[in-house]
Chain A
Amino acid sequence: MGIAELQAYGYFVLTFFLVVALYGYIYHLYTKKRDASGVDYESYSNMALKDDIDDTPVSALSDEKVPVEGKKK
């Protein structure tokens, strides 16, 4: 088997893998309204809609990092 043939098989396997991964991702997104960690993807729109600095984050990175009024970090 020459290098060209190997490349062709490799290319096919890669494409196949990516297609499976993409469809798997679609399945994952649409079958579970909430994923394992309890996240509803549609609520993520609020990251833009409620984006003032003192708005509550959709999912805060950590509790103590929420800015306190009148205090710089």
Chain B
Amino acid sequence: MENRPLEYDYTIAKMFMLTTIAFGIVGMLIGVILAFQLAFPGLNLMLGDGLAEYTNFSRLRPLHTDAVIFGFTLSGVFATWYYVGQRVLKVSMAESKLLMTLGKLHFWLYLAVVVAVIVSLFAGVTTSKEYAEFEWPIDIAVVVVWVLFGMGIFGLIGIRREKSLYISVWYYIATFLGIAMLYLFNNMEIPTFFATSPSGESGIGAWYHSVSMYAGTNDALVQWWYGHNAVAFGFTVPIVAMIYYFLPKESGQAIYSYKLSLLSFWGLMFVYLWAGGHHLLYSTVPDWMQTMGSIFSVILILPSWGSAINMLLTMKGEWQQVAASPLIKFMVLGSTFYMFSTLEGPIQAIKSVNAIAHFTDWIVGHVHDGVLGWVGFMIMAALYHMAPRVFKREIYSKSLMAAQFWIQTLGVVLYFTSMWIAGITQGMMWRAHDEFGNLAYSFIDTVTVLHPYYAIRGVGGLLYLVGFLMFAYNIYKTMSSRPVEERELQNASPMGA
């Protein structure tokens, strides 16, 4: 036993891979239900009047967003970290009992927190801050989970054999630091228990409720500084970390320009934090702050495209691989969608455009071309690359994977095109007026016009979910199939040949 050669230990990565898939299914299923509820409002009562409280749109919406962000995406981030981290630092988790224990603790506590979140949101317990709905006891547990994650990162770095840190590790570190800062400041809250009413009574309300430490415009500012940078450090930075590792590995090509990757990293860190103001255009925040948000949003194209173009150029001269391998297709389309949403975002951040786009479905379209085309595709691609290596088995079916790719691509396209049309129609109808300034349409007119587009979005979302189930099935069959020699897998990609 003592004389076994040292190997990477993927125990923790495997556990997080399973939660990535499980929470992906849950979150996207709820997304599809929401989409059909918007098209067919009767579905709000799908389990009858008695359970309406639990099945209506407003109760389910935060469950969707939190399940896909904190369940699916974060699990994916953790799974890939526990895989990529060891490899690029050339050190195995098996070498440190402490790191292994911390990793396991990280996983189980994370799972407990997600369960607590699901239960509390279903019960309607919420702080009502978007993407930060959890009440204070859960927030505290989240901080512990995050600290464990950080100890895992820095612990592994501490015992590494490779002197320099590969670019992906920079991005993982930035994810850790960024989210830590954002989460702490946005969730500063005071339990209502400590409040005293004007008439002197204390201990008001349930023990788990709280109020934000910020009020009014300040609250909005902190909230969108958080909200926007949750996109930055949850949907962008760790996903870039993944593509910088998995695309070169899968294609066997060195990053087109390592220097450009360093540069885009600092560019992204520098610019992202100032752009949050674009969520609050035409609101009560100071005008200069809105202008700053718009300007930084436009500048943000540069570092974003810096990473994306770097990835596409990595495939230079190797485009036949894109045709041959569905796995590389996922990643190349992912970086294309990344370019796409980081061009769309800055356009929406221009004040005159935002005047039409804000509050409309165009924003929802923007969100989902980013999360479905970029985040979802990249996480699935990462898991597809990891699966044969951690389970030591071939991917079950390459043709299933190819079919999944096309079904999901169609789903994404249906989703964002329908939302563009719906959003712009909505925006134009809301502002249309006659020569005396009377509004030309009432709200219900827009609802009627939008119905077909909502139905199309529902179908698009359903296709994406079907594709995700195919992915889950493919991974499941991979896990449970005949093991192959590790050597066969290590050099040749299972997609090759």
Contact B164 A45 (CB under 8 A): no
Determine whether B448 belongs to the interface, using a CB cutoff of 8 Å to chain A.
no
Determine whether B90 belongs to the interface, using a CB cutoff of 8 Å to chain A.
yes
- In the complex with contacts A41-B262, A71-B3, A73-B6, A48-B162 CB distance below 8 A: no
CB-CB < 8 A to A39: which residues of B?
A: 164
Determine whether B431 belongs to the interface, using a CB cutoff of 8 Å to chain A.
no
Determine whether B449 belongs to the interface, using a CB cutoff of 8 Å to chain A.
no
Docked CA distance A66–B161 (Å): 7
CB-CB < 8 A to A45: which residues of B?
A: 248, 254-255, 258
Quick one: which of A29, A42, A59, A65 contacts B254, CB cutoff 8 A?
Answer: A42
Determine whether B193 belongs to the interface, using a CB cutoff of 8 Å to chain A.
no
Contact B162 A59 (CB under 8 A): yes
Determine whether A26 belongs to the interface, using a CB cutoff of 8 Å to chain B.
yes
Docked CA distance A19–B482 (Å): 56
**B residues 241-255 with Cβ under 8 Å of A?**
244-245, 248-249, 252, 254-255
Contact B90 A44 (CB under 8 A): no
Determine whether B409 belongs to the interface, using a CB cutoff of 8 Å to chain A.
no
CB-CB < 8 A to A58: which residues of B?
A: 162-164
Interface string of A32-61 (1 = CB under 8 A from B): 000000010110111111011111011111
- In the complex with contacts A51-B88, A70-B3, A29-B249 CB distance below 8 A: no
Min Cβ gap B416→A in Å is: 32
**Interface size bracket, A side:** 20 to 34
Min Cβ gap A33→B in Å is: 10
- In the complex with contacts A25-B263, A45-B258, A73-B87 CB distance below 8 A: no
Determine whether B160 belongs to the interface, using a CB cutoff of 8 Å to chain A.
yes
CB-CB < 8 A to B270: which residues of A?
A: 18, 22
Determine whether A69 belongs to the interface, using a CB cutoff of 8 Å to chain B.
yes
Docked CA distance A66–B6 (Å): 11
7 A–B contact pairs at CB < 8 A?
Answer: A18-B270, A25-B263, A42-B254, A52-B87, A60-B162, A70-B4, A72-B6
- Which residues of A line the B interface, CB within 8 A? 18, 22, 25-26, 29-30, 39, 41-42, 44-49, 51-55, 57-61, 65-67, 69-73
- Which residues of B line the A interface, CB within 8 A? 2-8, 87-88, 90-92, 94-95, 160-164, 166-168, 244-245, 248-249, 252, 254-255, 257-259, 262-263, 266-267, 270, 490
A18-B270, A26-B263, A73-B95 are known; give 11 further A-B pairs, CB within 8 A.
A25-B266, A45-B254, A48-B255, A49-B254, A53-B7, A54-B6, A57-B90, A58-B162, A67-B6, A67-B161, A69-B5
